[in-house]
Structure 1
Amino acid sequence: MSTTEERQILEGILNGDEKILKAFYRDNMPYIKKYILKNAGNHEDVEDVFQDAMVFIYQKMKTDSIHLESSLRTYFYGVCKNIWRNRLRRNKKMVITDDLIDEKEHTENSIVDEIINKEQEYLYRKHFSKLGTTCQQLLTLLFKGKSMREISKVIGYSEGYTRKKKFGCKQHLIEMIEQDPAYQELKLPAKKN
């Protein structure tokens, strides 16, 4: 159900067309910002969710698996809302789960979780070390909770370019991890739970 204009936007996202990306950001950010701020989020959350949704759409475009049943804007809002709801649910679930699990079950689950977490961490570190120095530095600062403004000062780029670079670095890391056969093995047990 996508229009020619929406197809051009999707192609622009896929090709990293700066003009299209800026226009898409400008047109859609206010709505995403309003939704997240209204639902227990902050400005960093807004940026992160928007970027994660862009990565999601980029991946869907790359695999030619995006099928719009509504407008691109509605689809994008839905993706953003789902990402945000999942984060809220995950955070809330962690707190609730800690209070409700009995000790034995908690110990058994934590051992399995620890093994899976170690495998995931190894996979992440393996591919993180393959990134360029700037990407490693940018993502490390991001994971330490630094703002885009702080990161841009440290790495010496404008805030806008730093955001674009963050998107590219995250995307490259995700692609490397997803192409690793070990990722497929880790993914299978997760689907059973």
Structure 2
Amino acid sequence: MSRGNSTSSSLTPTDDALIAAIRDGDERALAHLYRLHWPMVSHFVLQNSGSEDDAQDVYQEGVMVFYEKVRDGSLELSCQIKTYLYAVCRRLWLKRLTSKSRFGVRLLDDEEHGPYLNTGAEEDLLAAEEQDRRFTTMSEALNHLGEPCRSLLEGFYLLDKSMQDLTAEFGYTNADNAKNQKYKCLVRLKKLFFTHYKEEPI
């Protein structure tokens, strides 16, 4: 099993090289990976009621899941990259088909790239979806926060402005007053975040 810099014996030398290059920020390696396994995912989506555009959307999302796991050092592999990507993209396409149909969906799998189960891809994809949901909820909470809290928090946390700069920008008498206001805004933001987060369907 591979985590961070360790490598599973099930990986090919090409897989090892691709993971190392992507981890080092080599964009050519990512482009090569994209071209390498695109036909596999395209064939799968097309034979399961999808279009070329559907296949591209699913594949791009699947590659990004893989890329982010490699870059943050949390990737675990007990299979080859192509099997992992197949599992991720299969899950993504199944989710789309299920959302469009009132009936059960049965996918036709490519025997060459199965089995798709027990690759760790399912857990990684669910984690990525959960992270996206948190970011979306936080963005919505910021939108509901109102001014000046929204601009104050964005200025400090996103734009990396100092408390002195924010004190002058928002007209506070001193930096301590600005800090107190920032704290109150954070409390409000957390309440909004958890209220919206709990209300969202799982």
What's the TM-score, normalizing by structure 1? 0.48
Answer with 1 or 2: which has the greater Rg: 2
